[in-house]
Amino acid sequence: MTLPADFIVVSILGPAIVMLVFAMITLLFAVFQVDRSATASMALVGVGTAAVFALHLLMKGQQGAAEAGFGLRYLGDTPATAFTLVILLGTALAILVSEADLSRLGLDHPEYYPLMLLSATGAIVLASAGDLITLLLGLEIMSLAVYALAAWRQGSRQSEEAGMKYFLLGAFASALLIYGIALTFGAGGRFDYAGLAAAFSAPGFDAHVLALLGAVLLLAGLGFKVAFAPFHQWLPDVYTGAPTPVTTFMSVVVKTAAFAALLRIASTVFASLGAGPLGELLPIMLGILIGATLIVGNFGALLQSGVKRMLAYSAVAHAGYLGLAVLAADTVGTNAAIFYLTAYTLMTAGAFAVLSAITNADDRGDEIERFAGLAARRPFLAASLAIVLMSLAGLPPFAGFVGKLLVFQAAISAGYVALAVLGIATSVVAVVYYARVITYMYFRESDQETIRPLAPTLRIAVVIAVVGTIALGILPGFWYGLVERGQVLLAGF
């Protein structure tokens, strides 16, 4: 087979290649035992450079001239680059949080940053995939590094258990995904989304049941990564057990990448199946998963006495809200999800950053009592956490409110009114558990416990998160406009 002359377009690969190169550089730093903070700086430089490449691609998309190459198996259009930017933002925040805590938590091994950059590379590939094989590659690159990071703290039973649990269940989920890929290939004879969508909607296509089987297995495999119920049970344990900087990384970067992949498949492959016989099944099943996720996540969070675990359940709940956007992926859902994930990255990273400033030296101790009187002791931390929590609860004028508005509107416009109502109803519940933390910080007596001084990088991370949360809430139109005006390759099937 000969490739067309314009098949390889290197610039599309720019962000991923840059991240890979910097992963290698930081690895060399590790070999030559360069100072850790220099490694962190280099990692941040890498993230920044990749962001420049991604911005370049985003601007091309704005002009309607998105680069198309690789037979659309690897995409550089607006959704892909916007997700890449969100991933880079999340990575940068995670690095800043890590830098403050690595030595304290006994995580100070030179391979840490290279692994994080590698994982982010995989996330970018996953978010840019236009083909099931690319998807699998990205997913595994991302996941393998995260499995290692989750178990990073040697000697800590929780951390090791978290890593092992994540790895075993992740392997199971990957098996489902690969099986799904095989069945989908069997039904459509292609791996690329464009080809699959064309095959499924071609006249005379009669393997609908096979294609649907493939689709539900793909859904299950990706549902694990995004934590749809009932594939979510690993998440509270892993988020709680993993070191907080790693949890920060997982909760924003891994989630963003997995949703990016799911949205792309939903808007192409699933959408083309939806038009065929039995096509109504897939949205119904997805809807049931999302409804269950909303309920399990919100009610689960209600019960938790540990803030870290509450945030873990809240991550499940937010997967449900994002799921509403997946239902409308072929129309406005993708844009809504990009905005939501941007907001989610800022506020979740902010919350975990504050958390990591408050936990014990060994990263344990996230009981809510520990937050009592924080407003009096550490007004900056308390106000920051209050703002990101209010945003997570969906209160105006913060970014989370706009995100919720967009996903509810997306679901309603796609006809899923009942699910949107469920989402709005559960967000009433959500206020209860977020407000509980705020109540402790502001309306409980301080127990006079001293907290160690705030590391400068952590302060930077918190400031970025809070300022971003407020700015996105007050002026959402700028970022959303960029996303909405952009060009989407691979739509219209």
Partner 1 sequence: MTQDVVSWAALAPALALLGALVNGLLGARLREPLPGIVASVAVGAGFVLSLVAFFAFAGRGEAVVVPLWDYLAVSGVELALGFHLDQLSLLMMLVITGVGALIHVYSIGYMHADSGFARYFAYLNLFVAAMLVLVMADSYLLMFVGWEGVGVCSYLLIAFWFKQGTNVDAARKAYIVNRIGDAGFLLAMFLMFRTFGTLDVAAVNAAVGAFAFGAGAITAIGLLLLVAATGKSAQIPLHVWLPDAMAGPTPVSALIHAATMVTAGVYLIARASPIFATSPEASAAVAWVGAATALIAAFVAFAQTDIKRVLAYSTISQLGFMFVAVGVGAYSVAVFHLVTHAFFKALLFLVAGSVIHALGGEQDVRRMGGLGTRMRITGTTALVGTLAIAGVPLLAGFFSKDAILVHTFSSTLVEDYGAYFLYAVLLVSAVMTAGYMFRWYYTVFCGAERLSKATGAAVHESPRVMTVPLVVLAVGSVLTGYLGLPAFAFPNWIEGWLAPVTAAVTFTHPALWIEWLLLLVSVLAAALGLGLGYWAYHLQKGAPAARLGVGRLAAFGRSGAGFDALYRNAVVGPTEGTAGALSIVDRDILDRGMASGVTAAGLLARVTTLWQSGFVRAYALAMLCGVVALVLVVVVAGVRA
Contact in structure between 128 and 12 (CB atoms under 8 Å): yes
Dist. CA 162–CA 208, nearest whole Å? 39
Dist. CA 360–CA 400, nearest whole Å? 29
Q: Binding to partner 1 by residue 52, rule CB under 8 A?
A: no
Residues paired with residue 367 on neighbouring β-strands, in sequence order: 306
Sole binder of partner 1 in the list 369, 432, 451, 452 (CB under 8 A): 432
Q: Binding to partner 1 by residue 456, rule CB under 8 A?
A: no
Sole binder of partner 1 in the list 174, 442, 454, 491 (CB under 8 A): 442
Nearest to 378 by CA among 453, 432, 314: 453
Q: Binding to partner 1 by residue 213, rule CB under 8 A?
A: yes
Neighbours of 47 (CB within 10 A): 25
Q: Binding to partner 1 by residue 199, rule CB under 8 A?
A: no
Dist. CA 2–CA 374, nearest whole Å? 65
Residues 385-414 binding partner 1 (CB under 8 A) are 390, 395-397, 402, 405-406, 408-409, 412-413
Number of residues that bind partner 1 (CB under 8 A): 73
Per DSSP, 453 falls in state: P
Q: Binding to partner 1 by residue 56, rule CB under 8 A?
A: no
Q: Binding to partner 1 by residue 428, rule CB under 8 A?
A: yes
Sole binder of partner 1 in the list 64, 230, 456, 492 (CB under 8 A): 230
Contact in structure between 184 and 250 (CB atoms under 8 Å): no
Stretch that binds partner 1, among 81-89, 113-121, 147-155, 229-237 (CB under 8 A): 229-237
Residue closer to partner 1, measured from CB, 52 or 168: 168
Stretch that binds partner 1, among 47-55, 141-149, 198-206, 273-281 (CB under 8 A): 273-281
Residue closer to partner 1, measured from CB, 164 or 455: 164
Residue closer to partner 1, measured from CB, 168 or 361: 168
Residues 117-176 binding partner 1 (CB under 8 A) are 158, 161, 164-165, 168-169, 172-173, 176
Q: Least separation, in Å, of the C-beta of 290 and partner 1?
A: 13
Q: Measured between alpha carbons, how far is residue 155 from residues 31, 331, 409, 445 in Å?
A: 24, 48, 47, 35
Q: Binding to partner 1 by residue 224, rule CB under 8 A?
A: yes
Q: Binding to partner 1 by residue 469, rule CB under 8 A?
A: no
- Angle at the Cα of 153 (from 150 to 154), degrees rounded to 5? 120
Contact in structure between 244 and 152 (CB atoms under 8 Å): no
Stretch that binds partner 1, among 73-81, 318-326, 439-447, 461-469 (CB under 8 A): 439-447
Q: What counts of helices (H) and strands (E) characterise the chain? A: 21, 0
Q: Binding to partner 1 by residue 62, rule CB under 8 A?
A: no
Residue closer to partner 1, measured from CB, 114 or 291: 291
72 φψ region: left (φ > 0), alpha (ψ -120 to 50), beta (else): left
Question: For partner 1, what does the binding mask look like between residues 318 and 347, x meaning CB under 8 A?
Answer: --------------x---------------
Q: Measured between alpha carbons, how far is residue 480 from residues 78, 126, 175, 341 in Å?
A: 12, 22, 36, 12
Dist. CA 480–CA 208, nearest whole Å? 36
